[in-house]
Amino acid sequence: QSALTQPASVSGSPGQSITISCTGTSSDVGGYNYVSWYQQHPGKAPKLMIYDVSNRPSGVSNRFSGSKSGNTASLTISGLQAEDEADYYCSSYTSSSTQVVFGGGTKLTVL
Amino acid sequence: EVQLVESGGGLVQPGRSLRLSCAASGFTFDDYAMHWVRQAPGKGLEWVSGISWNSGSIGYADSVKGRFTISRDNAKNSLYLQMNSLRAEDTALYYCAKVLAGDLSSAFDIWGQGTMVTVSS
């Protein structure tokens, strides 16, 4: 199965907003509202930030938001803070027998 | 506290086998599907396998299909991954993950700290 496509890196200054895209196909991102986003700091386990395209788990800042259009999902982080610097991964449920597919990950640098 | 603790990793020669375990606590284990996700050193996340609450639905990544077997014991609140015919490319940190809402399609809300598997001669 092919991984979802994310930009390798994005950057922004404190206080700015950034958006990370995640492109799949009609068999995964475009076919289901089961897109999720994970934040991973170095040496740490991933943390769920967004589920079902645009829902935030309890405790996640409302600076994080998700959306989807066609086969592309997006994660937007507004009011960038230094602690947002991390790797971000999207994932989607897929109709294939493999069930789940991840994006390749995006490294966010806060300048 | 909801917790997942993986064990069973280590150094193993190519072609050999290893069995990973994941001990769950703090939630009703048999209400939730569970997954294994791995991360090779310096690389991204790769989904490995998932199992429904009652083991009735199981899936594998193409890269491990036919070599790895996922299972669970709800009486013991445990998830397992039997890994056979290991290859160098299976070297990774293996995480178990709980889904947010019962079924396989749900996001992963709880992750363990991972257990490292190194395949090398």
- Measured between alpha carbons, how far is residue B20 from residues A28, A40, B34, B109 in Å? 29, 23, 14, 20
Confidence of residue B104 (pLDDT cuts 50, 70, 90): confident
pLDDT digits (tens, 9 = 90+) for B25-70: 999 999 999 999 999 999 999 999 999 999 999 999 999 999 999 9
C-alpha to C-alpha distance for A51 and B5, rounded to whole angstroms:
23
C-alpha to C-alpha distance for B34 and B96, rounded to whole angstroms:
7
CA B13 to chain A, closest CA, distance in angstroms equals 25
> How confident is the model over B95-109, as a mean pLDDT?
91
Confidence of residue B106 (pLDDT cuts 50, 70, 90): confident
Q: Output the average pLDDT for chain A.
A: 95
Residues of A in contact with B44 (CB under 8 A): 3, 87, 89, 102-105
**E strands present in A6-71:** 9-12, 18-23, 35-40, 47-50, 64-69
Yes or no, beta carbons of A97 and B60 under 8 Å apart: yes
A7 and A104 Cβ atoms separated by less than 8 Å: no
Using DSSP's 3-state secondary structure scheme, residue B61 falls into coil
